[in-house]
């Protein structure tokens, strides 16, 4: 069974791994991960949500 402490450790591990690649989690990303860890959304929903945010952010970039 997942516990809040395990969820926090999981998210911190993801955050640290991403920071090593110069990528950073937003507050919204962390909320999605928490929702997934607490079985509020499916993995497919979490991936879809993060993809939509990435696409939205990319469209805002200017080159």
pTM, full prediction: 0.72
Angle between helices 43-60 and 27-37 (to 10 degrees): 170
Q: What is the mean pLDDT of the chain?
A: 88
Distance (Å, rounded) from C-alpha 29 to C-alpha 59?
A: 18
Cα atoms found within 13 Å of the Cα of residue 55, Cβ hemisphere only: 6
- pLDDT tens readout for residues 24-35: 988 998 999 999
pLDDT above 60 (res 1): no
Structure tokens at 41: 């959304």
């Amino acid at each position: 069974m997942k516990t809040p402490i395990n969820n926090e450790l999981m998210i911190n591990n993801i955050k640290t791994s991403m920071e090593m690649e110069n990528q950073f989690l937003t507050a919204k990303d962390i909320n999605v991960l928490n929702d997934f860890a607490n079985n509020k959304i499916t993995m497919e929903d979490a991936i879809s949500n993060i993809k939509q945010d990435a696409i939205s952010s990319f469209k805002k970039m200017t080159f």
